[in-house]
């Protein structure tokens, strides 16, 4: 039974990777837009210190550089996740810690695979983060980008075991998208 479950989880992880890689479409126009918008840095001040918020850079994340997703993200349901190095944890992850793995870029979304590292069953739990940067919407052959129901003015992400660009168009999931917490 345990072998069957491990095999199923490994198959799921492989399918997530193949799904993200199989529909890769990146045009030079959207690539240059991504580069210019993701290189912007905005400043926000807290009580006595000045902090800089780095914009999500999907090209860097796709190459395994997770520096632009570091920090705490929160959704409308009050759940939060915190990225620290190549790990993510928090109430939005059922208080488990996940290790970030391979990443790929497709249709203005970066997909990042992650697996539990402190699972009490000692069986891997594989998920994927789907991230879109501010002022960009996921592209889909069957739907226009205008059907993105998330707050397109902000970097945002959702995690799950499947879904891709269609998750950004789901009314039922709108409150489960995470946005960066600014202090």
Report the SS3 class of residue 3: helix
SS3 146: helix
- Residue whose structure tokens are 């739907």: 143
| CA distance readout (Å), 46 to 70, 155, 178, 183 | 18, 20, 21, 6
Which residues face 179 on adjacent strands? 74, 156
CB 136, CB 24: distance < 8 Å: no
Tell me which of 44-48, 61-65, 83-87, 98-102 is least confident.
44-48
Assessment of whether the complete model's pTM goes beyond 0.85? no
- Beta carbons of 119 and 101 less than 8 angstroms apart: no
Helix segments in 23-165, DSSP class H: 28-38, 58-62
Longest dimension (CA), the chain: 56
139-179 pLDDT tens trace: 765 555 558 899 999 999 999 988 788 888 889 999 999 99
Q: What is the mean pLDDT of the chain?
A: 74
Is the pLDDT assigned to residue 12 strictly greater than 70?
Answer: no
3-state SS, residue 50: strand
- Tell me the C-alpha to C-alpha distance, in Å, between residue 126 and each of 15, 55, 68, 99, 153: 11, 26, 22, 10, 29
The boundaries of the domain holding residue 70 are 2-180
8-17, 22-31, 147-156: which is most confident: 147-156
Q: Check whether 78 has a pLDDT greater than 90.
A: yes
Q: How many domains does the chain have?
A: 1
């Amino acid at each position: 039974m345990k072998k069957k479950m491990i095999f199923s989880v490994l198959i799921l992880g492989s399918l997530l990777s193949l799904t993200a890689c199989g529909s890769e479409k990146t045009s030079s126009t959207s690539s240059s837009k991504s580069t210019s918008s993701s290189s912007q840095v905005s400043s926000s001040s807290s009580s006595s210190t000045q902090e800089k918020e780095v914009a999500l850079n999907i090209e860097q994340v796709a190459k395994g550089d997770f520096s632009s997703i570091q920090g705490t993200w929160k959704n409308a349901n009050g759940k939060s996740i915190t990225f620290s190095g190549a790990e993510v944890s928090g109430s939005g992850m059922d208080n488990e810690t996940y290790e970030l793995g391979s990443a790929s870029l497709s249709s203005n979304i970066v997909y990042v695979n992650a697996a539990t590292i402190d699972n009490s069953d000692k069986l891997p739990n594989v998920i994927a983060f789907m991230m879109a940067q501010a002022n960009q919407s996921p592209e889909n052959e069957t739907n226009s980008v205008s059907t993105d129901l998330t707050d397109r003015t902000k970097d945002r992400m959702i995690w799950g075991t499947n879904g891709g660009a269609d998750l950004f168009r789901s009314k039922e999931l709108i409150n489960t998208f995470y946005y960066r917490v600014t202090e």
